[in-house]
Structure 1
């Protein structure tokens, strides 16, 4: 079976391909295995660490949960409307228009719900500073804090202040504001060790939030009222001054308005004044006087006309005299002249005669006097009209400034009245404004809300998994040993093969069994060695490792057996004279061997011992010398290898480990090259790299590396070539057993 292709593929992998923490390419391992298998290998490798951490975390969560004090959560549900509900139709100071985003509005309300001011109101209203049960429900020991109630049952002001601040902090730490998605509802949840206290505080929190909201509105209106008060005072003073100026100007210019008109802008103008009204009246009287004077002048020019104008009165008097005379004549027919009624009529007639005479005389003398009187009256009225006309002209010129002063008065009055109206409105604006209502009040919960045992244990296990992941990652980084076949390439070596972990005591039996995984593994190493030189398997090579007990001696023994099985003559030399071990594989002593030859004995054939394996001979380490490095530094090692090449096809040297010793670099000069053995998950990679550098510094040729002691799950995860043989052999055994 040719296993060179995997090794070559590993060596030819591009250097820039990303690697996992273990050195495996991100797309899979060196043999094309998926990356999930690499992670599975890591999990299997550290399964007990992961399981231990997870179990401990779960137990810790269980214990902590059982030790926790049960907590009870009560919830009050509130509705916070976007628009305010108003009893009065008066606009407040704060804008209620929907020009803000709902999310911003509700987020502000939720923040205000959890504000310190609400917690202070709740603590003050419920008197929590004096409620020892409240602190006990939250696990606060007042005695330890030095705040226990004194003997007189009266705390000092400093203690009360500390308790108040402590209560506020507890309230804010245990309240939870939970909005209901896609609604204007919000839950106020409070948690404590007492169901009754939780319900009481949740309800009080909602009530105090509503009260705090109303107080904020009144506080904002109070500021506005104070501002308006100052403005009202200023505007009232300005209005009074403008009115004084108007009155003073009106008095100075004798402008007495009788009628005013307002335009559409509310500006007042004087439409009539006293002078204008008097002038109008006098003008009418002057017109009448002029007419009377003209009539009197006409009567004076024709006296008859004057008498004729008064003839109506005289005729009436004469008519009455005629009636009286007729009645007197009728009485004389019946009575004597001394009759009283007759006497009375006679006196009436004499009176009428006198009146008729006087009237006729007055009429004739009054025509001229009436004319003079009418003329005088006309002149008087004309003079008065001219005087008022001059005065009116002066007032009309002054009315321009008067109207300006009047408009200033009107403007100041409008501003003053507007401010006064707004001042009164703000005083009652907040009374009806309310957009918050309690939907469901909190009730004492019937069962605890925490601790939740399943949830806490699940969280603890989850935390344990996270911690386990971190620990495994750290261990993977700290553990610098080679774990995957591809790690060998990172050392600059070609991978000759990988050997699974097996019992070293049965190594010979496993190697001789062609169906065993060990045999398949070492056959792979032998096949890859055949391609390391132009003449096939090297005639002589050295097997070494970084430190003792990595498996170099087992590998030397196994390779010697595999080479001997091919019909070749092979000599296995134990060159580890400090700690020889090859003789144990053949149940022989090492009383003579390599150290004897290096010490000066020339007959090497006497030092070679045959074995029970055909084609395989062995030269043990011989007696342990006091200084092995001095013996190996001579040229006798190279002479020995050259002489052995004439009698043996292959010489396999089991060399001492590299770390801390100079033996292997000395031996490497006498062989064609070195096969380097690395224990999977053993020596840190930096130590392996340092050892390889020492060999290269001695001009040693590196044939490649062999990764041994790989665990079965790792082997199966990477799917090496000997997996088929291993499975085939087991199937054959199972079939024979069944037969």
Structure 2
């Protein structure tokens, strides 16, 4: 045959094929690997799923029904503060979730649960503890006297009742809202609704109590600070008055300030301001009087004279008389009596005008001198007041410091007083940010057990447990389930794979030339043609790790295939402990190998032809007491040499390797060994140990044959059975 088997390339390139064999598994996609593991251990996974489903169904049917009641409350964030005093309250930002997490924690607090238990009188209710299966012997808290619980155990019972409520209580906040759902689960629907409503009511009450308590703390703090501020204000005021009295600083109340107080002004400053205004007016009067005085002329041309009515009347009269006198002078002499009379009147009028003008001029001078004296006096007074004011300013520096301290203490006192009043008002109002939106109602249907949910969970658990078991078994399983694992795990080239034969004897399968067994061993024969330089080894042994792995069938099948190829083949049963070749060939083993090894030389008498298979056999012969002693001599080597003179191939069915010395002894007498490995059964660690023992005896191993292979059980099956069944119909 000229057909090359790729598996034989391992003999010439062992390291490369080993790497490729290892990488073949690594190249498999993880999903395919997991699917094949699941298919291989499918019965384990199915059993796990079915068991979990049955267990879930039984547990669900045995569970007592429970009822869940829920009430909904709204928790608003407090955006406003009761007071503006720093430290009394803290304003929460819109993005601050700390407030709501705190509220959820308060709902789950131990104190609230114990408050509910105490309000509903659950501490002394035996039915409550019996409902939740609380042991009546725990801590001696349930001791009874006269059919009632004792008072001594009340504290312990309260703690236990609170823990029971907390275990069956749940807080579920609604996403992106201020609504919170309070749930309680028990065996009684009425009790569940009562507890849920009690939780909501008691949470609102405790919230109000905390606010009142916090307000009381703030009021007490402000009251203490208010007393201290009042004491500081009184002391600063007394200090200011003492200093003002000592320095004789007198201030008058002024205009109200923007801060709500009043400004003060000193008496000296007020007087200086007034005198300064009077001095300014006096200076103006003096300047005006001086101007009038300077305007007086000797001809009576002053403004006052021109405006004087008496002088103007005298001047008018004189002008009239002067006119009459001039007319008379035209006709008469100055001595004329009427003329002299008119002249006398004119002279008298001139004297009168002069006297009036002198009087007017004297009055202006007197007014000027009086204004000058008054200005000088006021100026002197102002200068004196300026000196006094400067001295007062020097003495008022410390006074102002005391005044500022008084103002500061008064402002702080007023602010604290205002806040104290606000806290008093807020404490009486009792603002609450928690309201009940939907009170709990008695549930109509139980919340648990939920059979479909439990079965779904049981299914998931079963799948998970089955997967874990499948992966664990896959890791723990050392059986060779795939042909590619032979080279990767054992380091031996794979000569071929032999399918498992069901409902047929090996001899019958070999007689059917279209059977899968024949096809498999024909492929193995082809692989052996490349095992040595001269083709199929002339002498070889077939062994395995333990009995019943298919080594005898392999030896018989190889001998049959070689015989059908025209070779003269003899099959020697080397297993003198548990012979089987005589049964496969249908002959007895009264005489055979053991006879020859003990000195019997008639070779032809121990060779039996098998006509239907076309080969000859040598049975094991009578079973010796110790087969290993017979194999230690050179009789087996002589037998092989004599058989090769008459036959083309000598095949020895060797005993298993583990625990026996026969197989290494036989392997050292032939060209090499074919190692039969049973798939799905033998552990790879045992095979490695057996191969190491063979190699320790310097035996040559041509390769391995994977026997009893079932493709459906393969971890990474490649459809091996397709080649064996091609062209045949399943009967």
Whether the TM-score (by the shorter chain) exceeds 0.5 is: yes
**Aligned: 1:246 with 2:240:** yes
Residue 412 of structure 1 is matched in structure 2 by 409
Summarize the Cα distance change of 1:49–1:225 in structure 2 as closer, same or farther, 3 Å threshold.
same
Per-residue deviation at 1:666?
A: 0.6
Per-residue deviation at 1:581?
A: 0.9
Q: Deviations over 1:13-56 (max 9, x none)?
A: 6656796xxx970333xxxxx76565444434433333322222
The within-5 A match list for 1:118-517 is 118-142=112-136, 146-148=140-142, 150-152=144-146, 155-264=149-258, 268-273=262-267, 395=392, 397-429=394-426, 431=429, 433-489=431-487, 490-503=489-502, 506-517=505-516
Instruction: Measure, in 2, the Cα distance between the counterparts of 1:163 and 1:394.
Output: 84
Residue 578 of structure 2 is matched in structure 1 by 579
Summarize the Cα distance change of 1:51–1:249 in structure 2 as closer, same or farther, 3 Å threshold.
same
Per-residue deviation at 1:4?
A: 1.2
Summarize the Cα distance change of 1:24–1:391 in structure 2 as closer, same or farther, 3 Å threshold.
closer
Summarize the Cα distance change of 1:566–1:534 in structure 2 as closer, same or farther, 3 Å threshold.
same
Q: 1:76 aligns with which of 64, 68, 71?
A: 71
Instruction: Measure, in 2, the Cα distance between the counterparts of 1:12 and 1:699.
Output: 20
Provide the secondary structure at the position in 2 that maps to 1:514. coil
Number of aligned positions between the proteins: 632
Provide the secondary structure at the position in 2 that maps to 1:197. helix
Provide the secondary structure at the position in 1 that maps to 2:219. helix
Instruction: Measure, in 1, the Cα distance between the counterparts of 2:384 and 2:30.
Output: 122
Provide the secondary structure at the position in 2 that maps to 1:202. helix
Per-residue deviation at 1:708?
A: 1.0
Instruction: Measure, in 1, the Cα distance between the counterparts of 2:82 and 2:256.
Output: 36
Contact 1:93 1:426 in 2 (8 A): no
Residue 320 of structure 1 is matched in structure 2 by none
Provide the secondary structure at the position in 1 that maps to 2:729. helix
Residue 47 of structure 2 is matched in structure 1 by 52
Instruction: Measure, in 2, the Cα distance between the counterparts of 1:182 and 1:279.
Output: 71
Residue 321 of structure 2 is matched in structure 1 by none
Query: Quick check: 1-10 or 436-445, which moved more?
Result: 1-10
Contact 1:479 1:681 in 2 (8 A): no
Contact 2:594 2:630 in 1 (8 A): yes
Instruction: Measure, in 2, the Cα distance between the counterparts of 1:429 and 1:568.
Output: 116
Provide the secondary structure at the position in 1 that maps to 2:445. coil
Summarize the Cα distance change of 1:386–1:44 in structure 2 as closer, same or farther, 3 Å threshold.
closer
Q: Deviations over 1:484-541 (max 9, x none)?
A: 1122112110011111221485212212323222122111211111111122211111
Contact 2:78 2:91 in 1 (8 A): yes
Instruction: Measure, in 1, the Cα distance between the counterparts of 2:195 and 2:80.
Output: 26
Residue 5 of structure 1 is matched in structure 2 by 6
Provide the secondary structure at the position in 2 that maps to 1:533. coil
Q: Deviations over 1:581-620 (max 9, x none)?
A: 1111122111100011100012212110011325300000
Contact 1:76 1:203 in 2 (8 A): yes
Query: Quick check: 719-728 or 82-91, which moved more?
Result: 82-91
Provide the secondary structure at the position in 1 that maps to 2:440. coil
Provide the secondary structure at the position in 2 that maps to 1:130. coil
Instruction: Measure, in 2, the Cα distance between the counterparts of 1:16 and 1:434.
Output: 76
Provide the secondary structure at the position in 2 that maps to 1:678. strand
Contact 1:515 1:725 in 2 (8 A): no
Per-residue deviation at 1:683?
A: 2.4
Contact 2:211 2:430 in 1 (8 A): no
Summarize the Cα distance change of 1:68–1:560 in structure 2 as closer, same or farther, 3 Å threshold.
same
Provide the secondary structure at the position in 2 that maps to 1:121. helix
Instruction: Measure, in 1, the Cα distance between the counterparts of 2:462 and 2:144.
Output: 47
Residue 43 of structure 1 is matched in structure 2 by 38
Per-residue deviation at 1:713?
A: 1.2
Provide the secondary structure at the position in 2 that maps to 1:199. helix
Query: Quick check: 689-698 or 605-614, which moved more?
Result: 605-614
Query: Quick check: 627-636 or 121-130, which moved more?
Result: 121-130
Summarize the Cα distance change of 1:673–1:268 in structure 2 as closer, same or farther, 3 Å threshold.
same
Unaligned stretches of 5+ residues in structure 2: 283-373
Per-residue deviation at 1:715?
A: 6.2
Provide the secondary structure at the position in 2 that maps to 1:79. strand
Give the TM-score of the pair, scaled to structure 1: 0.77
Provide the secondary structure at the position in 2 that maps to 1:730. coil
Per-residue deviation at 1:117?
A: 3.4
Query: Quick check: 584-593 or 469-478, which moved more?
Result: 469-478
Instruction: Measure, in 1, the Cα distance between the counterparts of 2:115 and 2:18.
Output: 69
Provide the secondary structure at the position in 1 that maps to 2:144. coil
Contact 2:117 2:123 in 1 (8 A): yes
Summarize the Cα distance change of 1:652–1:386 in structure 2 as closer, same or farther, 3 Å threshold.
closer
Residue 65 of structure 1 is matched in structure 2 by 60
Query: Quick check: 696-705 or 473-482, which moved more?
Result: 473-482
Per-residue deviation at 1:70?
A: 1.1
Contact 2:268 2:385 in 1 (8 A): no
Instruction: Measure, in 1, the Cα distance between the counterparts of 2:532 and 2:8.
Output: 15
Provide the secondary structure at the position in 1 that maps to 2:705. strand
Per-residue deviation at 1:434?
A: 3.6
Instruction: Measure, in 2, the Cα distance between the counterparts of 1:419 and 1:85.
Output: 19
Summarize the Cα distance change of 1:575–1:42 in structure 2 as closer, same or farther, 3 Å threshold.
same
Instruction: Measure, in 1, the Cα distance between the counterparts of 2:532 and 2:594.
Output: 30
Contact 1:149 1:155 in 2 (8 A): yes
Provide the secondary structure at the position in 2 that maps to 1:165. helix
Summarize the Cα distance change of 1:140–1:17 in structure 2 as closer, same or farther, 3 Å threshold.
farther
Provide the secondary structure at the position in 2 that maps to 1:25. helix
Query: Quick check: 420-429 or 409-418, which moved more?
Result: 420-429
Instruction: Measure, in 2, the Cα distance between the counterparts of 1:388 and 1:499.
Output: 136
Provide the secondary structure at the position in 2 that maps to 1:128. coil
Contact 2:597 2:631 in 1 (8 A): yes
Instruction: Measure, in 2, the Cα distance between the counterparts of 1:386 and 1:719.
Output: 127
Residue 305 of structure 2 is matched in structure 1 by none
Per-residue deviation at 1:104?
A: 4.4
Per-residue deviation at 1:185?
A: 2.0
Q: Deviations over 1:172-228 (max 9, x none)?
A: 211112122233222111111111121112122222223333333334333333332
Unaligned stretches of 5+ residues in structure 1: 29-33, 289-377, 734-739
Contact 1:24 1:487 in 2 (8 A): no
Q: Deviations over 1:389-442 (max 9, x none)?
A: 998776554333323222211110101111121222233446464433221111
Contact 1:561 1:613 in 2 (8 A): no
Per-residue deviation at 1:651?
A: 1.0
Summarize the Cα distance change of 1:72–1:570 in structure 2 as closer, same or farther, 3 Å threshold.
same
Give the TM-score of the pair, scaled to structure 2: 0.78
Per-residue deviation at 1:384?
A: 12
Summarize the Cα distance change of 1:700–1:88 in structure 2 as closer, same or farther, 3 Å threshold.
closer
Contact 1:128 1:134 in 2 (8 A): yes
Contact 2:76 2:178 in 1 (8 A): yes
